[in-house]
Structure 1
Amino acid sequence: MALALLVPGGRGQLGRDMVAATPGDGLVHAPSSAELDVTDPSAVADAVAVFATTARDAGLRPVVVNAAAYTAVDAAETDFDRAFAVNAAGPGYLAANCREHDVPLLHVSTDYVFPGDGTRPYEPSDPTGPRSAYGRTKLAGEERVLSTWDRSWVVRTSWVYGEHGANFVKTMARLAATNDTLSVVDDQLGSPTWSLDLAHGLVSLAGLVSSGGTPSRILHATGAGETTWCGFARAIFAELALDPDRVKPCTTADFPRPAPRPAYSVLSGKAWADAGLPPLRHWREALTAAVAAHAVP
């Protein structure tokens, strides 16, 4: 039996790639935030009810994949109420309505729920401790989802980039056109993740949980390997046939921001692999594929 996916936040970076990653024998409805405001309980109730009925009438297995998020990390420090509404309250409404209609829910979260002071890849069971307002709202969303509906799963990821929307890869490409050199932070470590690879991973997880599979309820899905932002930037330059030496290392202290950034954001994919899910490819290989596919201008 094929999948039916409802993807709130469907016009964002990940949401649009969820559409591309959904098999042709399935159904995907990916409404924008304007079409489905996850902070509106009535709108969420109506959307999940119609989706569940439509999917089952078509003989499909329904799954909700929540890609809606407030991701303006610095703005969240002063716009906490809005960030909380989107990142915590909204996922709670989705979970409650998924429970009512017996629909599995996959909720996408972030490395920012951890304190960022680790020295080895974070496991899903490691203690959380977000240091930013954004991270606190995302952790609250995880907690609401997991406590509301026992057929919900949290998927944490990091350093996502892709064809659609603003992201680090596009920023580097744009700045390279107007700057001889760039200074990029070299003391923050993480795993770049191509949104299309993440989308394919989420589709695989949706298939697993909708057919009765019961993986751990918190999973990590990122590009394999690790690098710094500076290393990532240099790789981007190389893929764009530019001189990587134009990218110069600097420290986090050189570029203070309103919200603290994790110094260490590497997430372990062990639980993902233990569930029998295909691992996301190495971040460097994915970057090559992304640029070749014109996912990055």
Structure 2
Amino acid sequence: MKVLITGSHGQVGHCLAEQLKNKAEIFAVDRDELDITNESAVNDVVSQFQPDIIINAAAHTAVDKAEQEEALSYQINCDGPLNLAKAAQNIGAAILHISTDYVFSGDKDDIYNEEDETNPQGVYGASKLAGEKAVADACPKHIILRTAWVFGEHGNNFVKTMIRLGRDRDQLGIVGDQFGGPTFAGDIAAALITIAEQIHAKNEICWGLYHFSGTPHVSWHQFAQAIFEQAKSQSVLNERPQLVSLATEEYPTPAKRPANSKLNCNKIEQQFGIKPSDWQNALKRIQHYA
């Protein structure tokens, strides 16, 4: 199996390269090696390497900066994936593409299914939704994986921010009215690899859109509590800071965050046997995030 991984320096891309290095022939690139917004560069790499599968983990994920960087967001989150999908289609490869809970408004009372209406509230979500549509239109052999609240040992994320702030402050205010499923980057990589292996094995694949995130669903405040409990028990922090639950309006940001980021992961479990991310288990290795 030959796999091209883009965004290899990001949270998920790094895990993909690590987990696949002994399972497949991989070509892992970040933007320094391949600018996915450059169509001719993408075509050159894909035609030379001839991957069976392209896994696109590259994205413009700075949610607040995206509000000021709309053109750049669409270039990286829509044009780039389109270039990769077209290149995959040209050589008969499949493309696996990562998307986000931000394609939804976050106003639904219940958990979000793949078929639910999308209504992004900011540039980041809108650009990622445009990327979903571009990939689906350009390459029939596609899997689009929506995920949420990603964290891991590599890169910047909420867990690392909490540990850093917890060392400096006795009290922290954390938003308590936004809910979702924290998702370990290593589990996202493992899910994509499971799908890639089934594609390579010529199993019958139900192409299309899937949700994959963690359970149980919690608020950011509850997630922070779990982080600090593990950090204290494993001596990553000497003391837990006092946590104050904030309402969203008490913590204004340039981009609106979804109040509900809960994703229904039944479809991916039924089709591929992939269970939701166990984020609580991933936090047991919290010394790797410090």
Counterpart of 2:41 in structure 1: which amino acid?
A: A
* Match for residue 187 of structure 1 among 143, 153, 177: 177
Aligned partner of 2:282 in structure 1 is: 286
Give the structure-1-normalised TM-score.
Answer: 0.92
Residues 1:251 and 2:247 aligned together: yes
Cα deviation, residue 285, structure 1: 2.1
**Contact in 1 for aligned 2:61/2:124 (Cα 8 Å):** yes
* Match for residue 8 of structure 1 among 6, 14, 17: 6
* Match for residue 48 of structure 2 among 47, 50, 68: 50
SS in 2 for 1:163: coil
SS in 2 for 1:153: strand
- Aligned counterparts of 1:93 and 1:212: Cα–Cα separation in 2: 26
Unaligned runs of 5+ residues in structure 1 are: 56-61
**Contact in 2 for aligned 1:191/1:222 (Cα 8 Å):** yes
**Contact in 2 for aligned 1:159/1:191 (Cα 8 Å):** yes
Aligned partner of 1:233 in structure 2 is: 224
- Aligned counterparts of 2:21 and 2:268: Cα–Cα separation in 1: 21
- Aligned counterparts of 1:50 and 1:267: Cα–Cα separation in 2: 37
Cα deviation, residue 83, structure 1: 0.4
**Contact in 2 for aligned 1:122/1:266 (Cα 8 Å):** yes
**Contact in 1 for aligned 2:212/2:277 (Cα 8 Å):** no
Give the structure-2-normalised TM-score.
Answer: 0.94
**Contact in 2 for aligned 1:198/1:280 (Cα 8 Å):** no
Counterpart of 2:108 in structure 1: which amino acid?
A: G
Deviations 1:102-135 (A, max 9, x none): 0100000000001101122211111100001100
Deviations 1:39-64 (A, max 9, x none): 00011101111221xx5xxxxxx211
Aligned partner of 2:288 in structure 1 is: 295
**Contact in 1 for aligned 2:178/2:220 (Cα 8 Å):** yes
**Contact in 1 for aligned 2:181/2:218 (Cα 8 Å):** yes
- Equivalent residues in 2 for 1:45-194, closer than 5 Å: 45-52=43-50, 62-194=52-184
Cα deviation, residue 295, structure 1: 3.1
| Structure holding more strand per residue | 2
Residues 1:222 and 2:213 aligned together: yes
* Match for residue 266 of structure 1 among 254, 257, 262: 262
Counterpart of 1:229 in structure 2: which amino acid?
A: W
- Aligned counterparts of 2:85 and 2:115: Cα–Cα separation in 1: 21
SS in 2 for 1:147: helix
Deviations 1:145-179 (A, max 9, x none): 00111001110000001111111000000000110
- Aligned counterparts of 2:158 and 2:120: Cα–Cα separation in 1: 22
Cα deviation, residue 260, structure 1: 0.3
Stretch moving more, 18-27 or 103-112: 18-27
Cα deviation, residue 244, structure 1: 5.1
Q: Give the aligned length.
A: 284
User: What's the RMSD between the two structures over aligned residues?
Assistant: 1.4
SS in 1 for 2:260: coil
